[in-house]
Structure 1
Amino acid sequence: MGSRYCIQCQKAHKACLCSTIVPLSSAIELIILQHPTEVRKPTGTASILTLSLDRALCLVGENFTQDETLNALLNDADVTHFVLFPGGGSTCVNEIQPPSPPQRYRVILLDGTWKKAYKMWQLSTNLHNLPRLHLPESLQSRYRIRKAPRDNCLSTVEAGYHLLSNWQPHQDFSPLLQSFEQMIQFQLAQMPPDVRGRY
């Protein structure tokens, strides 16, 4: 008997996202550090990035200090690394000049609830010396089916979209948000009408 989960997007077959995915190229590389509880979550969005983008990698765990794959990437001296994690000492992406060849940027995103992402950040000491980024506070999330502490708390796919669009304005990354919207519509369709009307 086969798995009830799609091997590509990790979602249940009835919620599979793969048909919505559009292949996209990007000069900016993304590394998504995903909390284990997010892997098969129906409302998770990291898989949209990893399936769509030619330069996106997802690593699963909570403490990445000794993660060999991540540390090998961080040791790549030819790449400038950032971590998208707001707070004191972080710089808005608008203030960072886009890379110009042969310069390369690699950005780490933490995928989890805010509480879990903060725990991942605390435990993963190999991230602490990287330049930290935040997105403009004016951005509003379209992630209406999942609770967030503030309206400008973006999903992982929204964060990736805005980051890539900011540094590569001549490329169209809107298919990421279109896939995201289709995921939301599917999840809304599964809800009873009285619940659905709240979103």
Structure 2
Amino acid sequence: MGSRYCIQCQKAHKACLCSTVVPLSSVIELIILQHPTEVRKPTGTASILTLSLGSAICMVGENFTEHEGLNGLLSETDVTHFVLFPGDGSTCVSEILPPSPSQRYRVILLDGTWKKAYKMWQLSTNLHDLPRLHLPESLQSCYRIRKAPRDNCLSTVEAGYHLLSSWQPQQDFSPLLQSFEQMIQFQLAQMPPDVRQRY
């Protein structure tokens, strides 16, 4: 008997995102640290990034301090690493110059609810010495089917889109948001009409 879930996007087959994905290239590499509760969540967006971008990888866990794969990447001295985590001491992405042809940037995104992402940050001490980034506070999320503490709390795919677009403005990363919107529309279609109207 086959799995209920697509092996590529990890969503239930009826909610599979794979047909919406457009392959994209990026010189910026992304590492997505995903909380275990997000892996098969119908409204999760990290898989859009990993399916679309050959330079994006996902690692699942909560405490990454001793994570061999992540620490192996962090030990690479020819790459500048950042972590996208707002707060005191973080720098806006727009204030960082894009990488030159001889530079490599790798950015870590935390994928989880704000509460879970904060716990991941606290536990993963190997992230604490990395330069921290935040996105412009004026950005507004289109993630209307999932609750967030503020309007400018972006989904993982939206954060990835704005980050990549900021440093590579000559490239069109809009297919990421198009896949995202199709996922939202599918989820809305599953709701009873009276619930759907709230969104």
1:137 Cα shift?
0.2
Q: Does 1:150 align with 2:156?
A: no
Query: Normalising to structure 2: TM-score of the pair?
Result: 1.00
**Counterparts of residues 12-51 of structure 1 (less than 5 Å):** 12-51=12-51
Residue 101 of structure 2 aligns to a residue whose secondary structure is: coil
**Counterparts of residues 1-199 of structure 1 (less than 5 Å):** 1-199=1-199
Q: Tell me which stretches of 4 or more aligned residues in structure 1 moved more than 6 Å.
A: none
Query: Normalising to structure 1: TM-score of the pair?
Result: 1.00
Identity of matched residues, %: 89
How far apart, CA to CA, are the structure 1 residues paired with 2:4 and 2:70?
30
**Corresponding letter in the other structure for 1:119:** K
| Offset from partner CA, 1:36-74 (integer Å, 9 cap, x none) | 000000000000000000100000000000000000000
**Corresponding letter in the other structure for 2:105:** Y
| Offset from partner CA, 1:109-156 (integer Å, 9 cap, x none) | 000000000000000000000000000000000000000000000000
How far apart, CA to CA, are the structure 2 residues paired with 1:36 and 1:174?
27
| Offset from partner CA, 1:75-99 (integer Å, 9 cap, x none) | 0000000000000000000000000
Residue 72 of structure 2 aligns to a residue whose secondary structure is: helix
1:102 Cα shift?
1.0
How far apart, CA to CA, are the structure 1 residues paired with 2:54 and 2:35?
22
Residue 126 of structure 1 aligns to a residue whose secondary structure is: helix
Q: What are the ranges of 5 or more consecutive residues in structure 1 without an aligned counterpart?
A: none
**Corresponding letter in the other structure for 2:177:** L
How far apart, CA to CA, are the structure 2 residues paired with 1:99 and 1:81?
12
